[in-house]
Each structure stands twice: as structure tokens, then as C-alpha cells.
Amino acid sequence: MAMVVPCQTNQQSACKPRTAHYSRYGHRHFFPREQALQQLTTGLKRAEWFTVAHLLMVVAALAGGFTAYLIGAPMPFLIGGVIGSAIFVVSYEKPTRRLGKIHPYIRPAAIAATGAMIGSKVTPGLLSVLPAFWISAIAILPFVLLAHAGSYAMLRHVGKYNVTDAYFAAMPGGLVEALLLGEKAGADTRVLTVQHFIRVLSVVVVVPLLFYLLTGEVVGSAASTSGSTTPSLPYNFVDIALIVLLGAVGMFVGRKLRIPAGHLMGPLILAVIVSISGVADIIVPEWLLHTAQLVVGTTLGAQFSGIGRALLQRCFKMGILTVTYMLMLGFVFASLLEPYVPADVSAMFVSFAAGGLAEMSLIALSLDLSPLIVALHHLIRIFLTIYVGNQIFQRYFVNSKE
């Protein structure tokens, strides 16, 4: 963020226009306008996003992923990537040393590929049953209200958060939007960031483990044989090229048209069109799914950067409490809805697990649990969380203060 600062000296000839810049920690620095413009235009050229530390983090994530893969853990490259990169970040960072930012296109690229892989699994038969999920779509609203209210009560009375922090930290979705709304309302963005990160991370790790414990199936690993990701199905360069092309074009179109979660939904929609039109029958190789898991997991683990241990411990304890409540609530809704929708309780549970849209879509893809259905449910959940949550805050919290 930048702003022009007027000259404060009478010697106009010696005064150069300056630009105020704010660092990632909120400190303001001043530079001559020319230097500021040069920094803006050459920031990525300096490759600050690819340092030796980033390379070591990737190695740690790979080590975690392959270790989890070899021991037969569920979703090995997602969970192992998270754990490996998180351990590295916590060990590497010191008060005077921080991990640099990851390139802003790495995570969206993996999510775009995930969208293309999800869309490639859609068949005309699946589209024909979409209207049958109207009741579960409607049920998302009471789920959001109950999840938000229960989590708010826990953060407020058990965690002793103030009203604003507790309200926006308890939102069951929409990390970025919750941060923007919370900052505008005066909440502590550090608390919101860490609390939502813990929510997403906990759901990503717990849901595959729950499926493993309850079903005994090792999902997303070498033992997984789901859908088109099985090694017995041959693939070629055309399949890889189509996934990359659909991901790139879909992400561009999604952003241009301002589609919600466009980096995921844009490629997904394009892949659905290609799949149901019969233009191509895309085979998704297992290693590509593992790569997407690794990238998403590594970028999640990197979010530990800059988080103080005291704040992390506090938010982690409350995160475990609120996530347990949300997952139990999601299971109740999934069990009640199963008789009325053409999907089993597993697919419904993943659809109501309050994790990130991209992460839950990737889990559904690995579990072969109607990833399109899951993605649409989470998209509705995030929209309702932000819209309804903001309306309630404005009406009952802001007005009550006035």
C-alpha cells in the first residue's frame, strides 16, 4: 500500500516526492517516488519468493509427504506436506529471521489444477441429479447459523475473546472476507488470521484421519483406488496438457468474470463443459493429484510464518474446541439429510465440514466423493457465512453499541 507524502521542507529544490510504504508488519517506510516505483516493478524479479529457505521448506514438505505415503497415511502429501513445512517454518524462524512470502501464483495454480480435475470427473448423469440436492443446499443456512453461534459462545466465554474478535473468528468460512470485515469492525487481524488458519488446517488433517479410522481405507495414498486416479488407467501427454490448459484458461476467465472462488470454479466449469460434451475423456494420473496435495499442504504449513508461539498456542486450543463442535454438527446434518439426497453420509459429511473450499474439494476428489457436489455446498456455505454474518453483526452488534 502506498501514499504520497507532501514535502515538509522549505528547500523545494532539494525536496523529492516521497512515497510511504507499509511493510508486512505494518511499519511505514519512506522512499523517493522513483525508488518506490522501481520496487513495485522489480519486486518479483528479485525472486524473494524463491530463496534457499523456500527450497529447504519444499524439501521438508516432500520428506513429510513421502514419509506419510510410505507408512500408508491417508492423504499423505497433503497431511505430510503440512506437517513437514510447518515444522521447518517453526524451526527456521527467529525474532530477526522470517521466511519470505511465497509466490502469489503457486497456490492458485494448484487449486486451478484441482478444479480441472474435479470437472473432468463430472458426467451428464451427475448433472441430472443436482436438483435433488435442494434440501441440503437449504440446510446449509441453519448449519452456518448454529456453527457460528456455537463457536462464538466458545471463543467468547471459554477463550475470553472480546466481542468483535470472537464474532469474526467464529465464522465457519470465508477466511479472507472475514479478515476484511473484521478489520473494518476493529477486530485484531492477527487473532482472526491464526484462528481461521487453525480451523482450515484442523479440518484438512482430521477429516481424512476420521475416514481412515472409521472405514479402514487409506484414502489418497498408494492404497487408494478411486475413480480415474487408479494406476491401471493409462494416461498420456494430452491428458496432462488438457488439465494444465483448462486450469490456466479457467483461472483467467474466472477472475475476469469475477466468479466466486474463480481460481477453482473457473477451471471446474470449463472442465465440466469439456467432459459432458464428449470433447475429451480426461484421465487424471495419481501423481498429479499427489502434487496438488503437496502444494496445497506446503502453502498451508507456510502460514505458520510470523506467528508468535503464545498466540499460536491460544488459538490452537480454541481451534480444536470449535472445530470439534463444527465437525460434530456437520455429522448430525449429514446423517439427517442422507435419506433425502442421492448421496451417502460420507459425501454429505465432507460437504458440511467447515474447511476451506479448495482443501475440501481436493479431499473429496481424493476420496472420490462427488467432488462437484462437495464444492458447490462449500461455495454456498462461504457465501452465506459472509453475507448473513455481516448482516447480523451490523444489525445486532453495531446498532446495539449505538
pLDDT tens track for 353-379:
998 888 888 888 887 778 889 999 998
CA angle at 33 for the pair 28 and 34, rounded to the nearest 5°: 125
Calculate the alpha carbon distances from 50 to 138, 214, 286, 301, 344 in Å. Answer: 44, 40, 27, 16, 44
Residue 74's CB is within 10 A of a number of other CB atoms, namely: 26
pLDDT tens track for 76-104:
898 899 899 989 998 888 888 888 888 88
334/340 Cα distance (integer angstroms): 10
Q: Indicate the pLDDT class of residue 32, thresholds 50, 70 and 90.
A: very low
Burial of 185 per CB tally in 10 Å (0-12, 13-18, 19+):
middle
Q: Indicate the pLDDT class of residue 47, thresholds 50, 70 and 90.
A: very low
7/16 Cα distance (integer angstroms): 7
Of 227, 228, 269, which Cα lies nearest the Cα of 246? 269
Of 70, 92, 118, 78, which Cα lies nearest the Cα of 261? 118
182/108 Cα distance (integer angstroms): 24
Calculate the alpha carbon distances from 371 to 287, 350, 367 in Å. Answer: 18, 9, 9
280: which residues sit within 8 A by CB, 6+ positions away? 238, 242, 274
Q: Starting from the edge strand earliest in sequence, which strands make up the sheet with 2-5, in order?
A: 2-5, 18-22, 28-32
pLDDT at residue number 394: 87
pLDDT tens track for 287-321:
888 899 899 889 888 888 887 788 888 999 999 99
The winner for highest mean pLDDT among 18-27, 220-229, 233-242, 285-294 is 285-294
Mean pLDDT of 200-229: 69
Number of H helices, E strands in the chain: 17, 3
pLDDT at residue number 146: 97
